Structure 1
Amino acid sequence: MADSAAGGFLAVVVVLGLVSPAIRCASVPAMFIFGDSLIDNGNNNNMPSLAKANYLPYGIDFNGGPSGRFSNGYTMVDTIAESLGLPLIPAHSEASGDQMRYGVNYASAAAGILDDTGRNFVGRIPFNEQIKNFETTLDQMSDNQLAADELAKCIFFVGVGSNDYLNNYLMPNYDTKNRYNGQQYADLLVHQYSQQLSRLYNLGARKFVIAGVGLMGCIPSILAQSRDGTCSQQVNQLVLPFNANTKAMINNLSDNLPASRFAYVDIATMFQDLLANARSYGFSVVNRGCCGIGRNRGQITCLPFQTPCPDRRRYIFWDAYHPTEAVNVLFGQSAFNGNTDFVYPINIQQLANL
């Protein structure tokens, strides 16, 4: 399987005239990325959307400046791409021709598992539509059989679900919370999530990295709503069933999708460990954004040309919702070669080498 997959990939790039010596140095042919603003790198830039990060101070520490990443610099998948020996993966909105040879990033800020999620931000690309965009990429690459052969060795990173809570269930203008309790909503989400991952499998994906939802009750936007400035245990408890269901879903898909392999990145446990041991990791500011306005710098997120904190390496949170580059790099490294406390049953490096 490994040999035929690698050969298939080279066949595809030969068709496109894209053979490059650099590709033989990478541990996988390519990485395809699906998700939300935690890993978006510019797919919302040119659409009518309120969820954009293509302005300073976003990207203040990124080579090239603002790109659409909701960070001062790298996202988690940037670190993972480099660890795999790949270049930074381009956004779908910008990728064409030889730019796609190492993969494509389809992630979109405000996107969710449910198509309705994030409508307050107007333009966004829900996970279902991201999968359709991936199908378009396959059509652009070559015939489906060649694509299926080579895709078996590629990494498919999926990080989605946060917005289905922050920008759906917890939003006052949605009636979702009146229709479902926490467990029912998690069941609804993961039922659809399973179908979506199965679609990717049917399109040729075999190596999946699934990122869980983090401790959303501890982000600055939620802290700003707290009377005493502490994490909302209600919000943290709300998302627990989703992560539990996601782990069960991975086990079920592993059993039922031949040759599929999964790595689960436990973002919640990573954040729990980081908050508990912040100083040992070099962080001293754990409860407010580096850029933002109001309580915990989380009531209004990072505004254009706002002056961010100068000591960004010490901050866990960049803005009201997203971690700093320092945290993204730390989490990306843990996902790549960490132990089973944070990524299991195998890490991304082990998954890539299968």
Structure 2
Amino acid sequence: MAMAMAMGNLWISCMLVCLGLAALIDVVSGQGGNPFLPDGGKGSETVPAMFVFGDSLIDNGNNNDLPSLAKANYFPYGIDFNGGPTGRFSNGYTMVDEIAQQLGLPLIPAFSEASGDQVLHGVNYASAAAGILDITGRNFVGRIPFDQQIKNFQTTLDQITDNLGALNAAESLAKCIFFVGMGSNDYLNNYLMPNYPTRDQYDGQQYADLLVQKYTQQLRTLYNLGARKFVLAGLGRMGCIPSILAQSSTAVGCSEEVNQLVLPFNANVKTMMNSLNAELPGARFIYVDIAHLFEDIVANAGTYGFSVMDRGCCGIGRNRGEITCLPFQTPCENRDEYVFWDAFHPTEKVNVIMGRKAFNGDPSIVYPINIQQLANL
């Protein structure tokens, strides 16, 4: 009887520990497992969890229930995703889905859907149309700006702390990956929009300075909440997306004006990252050069199997970029030959390539170390 009671108490204790991220620390060292996973999770994960902040490039459903025009929870979005449309702005995986797989984690749930033990491996707070600035994306009505995404993370953190206690929660968080991909909408759905005053108030460099000043404060807030391992995604060659190409009836090729516009932001983010690495004890920030990744894909399109780089697989109008993918529209059949899925977003194939290169690429792609090296620190 005493043995049975002892075993029962031990089982209860184990279950309580597994409700928090602390249970996953043993997984990292290969000394334990996570009973919530079918295979026990032994040795499969290189970090306890990944927390994701960003916009539609990595949103996986947080806008589904918002009064928003920025949604992708309808077919043909998700046409190549197991389970169909989820709110991902892709035909399948996003970049962070691939990174999660590379880290040995399951797909990270959206904050809007995650509850209970679903947060064990992290949470995705990204929201389509969201920006660094709260005012960004208002044309789409509902969206979750970066400031609010951070507040949503605090809600998750409260749940973790309640289960683990402050000390264990802090120890676990320090091992987690914090992926942040912000800034695209601050240009596409703010600075470049005619109904915003921003372009009259700031030149390109001034606007980049404004954004990164705010961005620095937000990242410091995450650090103060316990984040230590940061992956920052730079802005891509935004002058090359079908939406921008569709705005010119005469120009051939990418808009160099737009490409040049975002360069100061990327430069500022790199400078900020180096400063934060030097100033914040225990912090490790790394930078994923999305623009360089895109240039590599275009330069080696044939090697990767791409044949269409200047229009969307799904969309309407010039370059299939004037109106984005509509409900039940028939997309292209040869999706793996397209760089862009719709007016703004890459195909799953591009997302997977970028995710893998960010995970194990060299310093020309991800600096100063890659995600795999960051995870193993």
TM-score, length-scaled by structure 2: 0.89
Distance change >3 Å, CA 326–CA 217, structure 1 → 2: same
Aligned with residue 284 of structure 2, among 218, 240, 261: 261
Distance 1:215 1:169 in 2: 16
Q: CA deviation at 1:273?
A: 1.5
- Provide the residue aligned with 1:159 in structure 2: 181
Q: Please list the CA deviations of residues 38-70 of structure 1 after superposition, one character each: whole Å capped at 9, or x if unmatched.
A: 000000000100000000000000000000000
Aligned with residue 99 of structure 2, among 80, 86, 95: 80
Q: CA deviation at 1:11?
A: 5.8
Q: Please list the CA deviations of residues 305-337 of structure 1 after superposition, one character each: whole Å capped at 9, or x if unmatched.
A: 000000000000000000000000000000000
1:215 aligns with 2:215: no
Identical amino acids, percent of aligned pairs = 73
Distance change >3 Å, CA 172–CA 114, structure 1 → 2: same
Is the 8 Å Cα contact of residues 12 and 146 (structure 1) preserved in structure 2? no
Distance 1:187 1:212 in 2: 15
- State how 1:336-351 maps to structure 2 within 5 Å: 336-351=359-374
Q: CA deviation at 1:228?
A: 2.4
Gaps of 5+ in 2: 1-19, 27-33
- Provide the residue aligned with 2:348 in structure 1: 325
| Equivalent position SS for 1:58 | coil
Distance 1:48 1:286 in 2: 33
Aligned with residue 29 of structure 1, among 48, 51, 75: 48
How many pairs are equivalent?
A: 344
Distance 2:298 2:347 in 1: 14
Distance 2:44 2:350 in 1: 27
More RCO (CA 8 Å, sep 6+):
1
TM-score, length-scaled by structure 1: 0.95
RMSD: 1.4
1:57 aligns with 2:88: no
Distance 2:42 2:327 in 1: 38
Distance change >3 Å, CA 212–CA 129, structure 1 → 2: same
- Provide the residue aligned with 1:305 in structure 2: 328
Is the 8 Å Cα contact of residues 21 and 120 (structure 2) preserved in structure 1? no
1:295 aligns with 2:318: yes
| Equivalent position SS for 2:56 | coil
Is the 8 Å Cα contact of residues 58 and 71 (structure 1) preserved in structure 2? yes
Distance change >3 Å, CA 103–CA 23, structure 1 → 2: farther
Q: Please list the CA deviations of residues 255-284 of structure 1 after superposition, one character each: whole Å capped at 9, or x if unmatched.
A: 000010112100011111111221111100
**Which range is displaced more, 268-277 or 100-109?**
268-277
Distance 1:139 1:23 in 2: 27
**Which range is displaced more, 227-236 or 86-95?**
227-236
1:111 aligns with 2:130: yes
- State how 1:13-28 maps to structure 2 within 5 Å: 20=36, 21-22=40-41, 24-28=43-47
**Which range is displaced more, 275-284 or 19-28?**
19-28
- 4+ residue runs of structure 1 moved beyond 6 angstroms? none
The higher radius of gyration belongs to: 2
Distance 1:169 1:148 in 2: 38
Q: CA deviation at 1:144?
A: 3.3
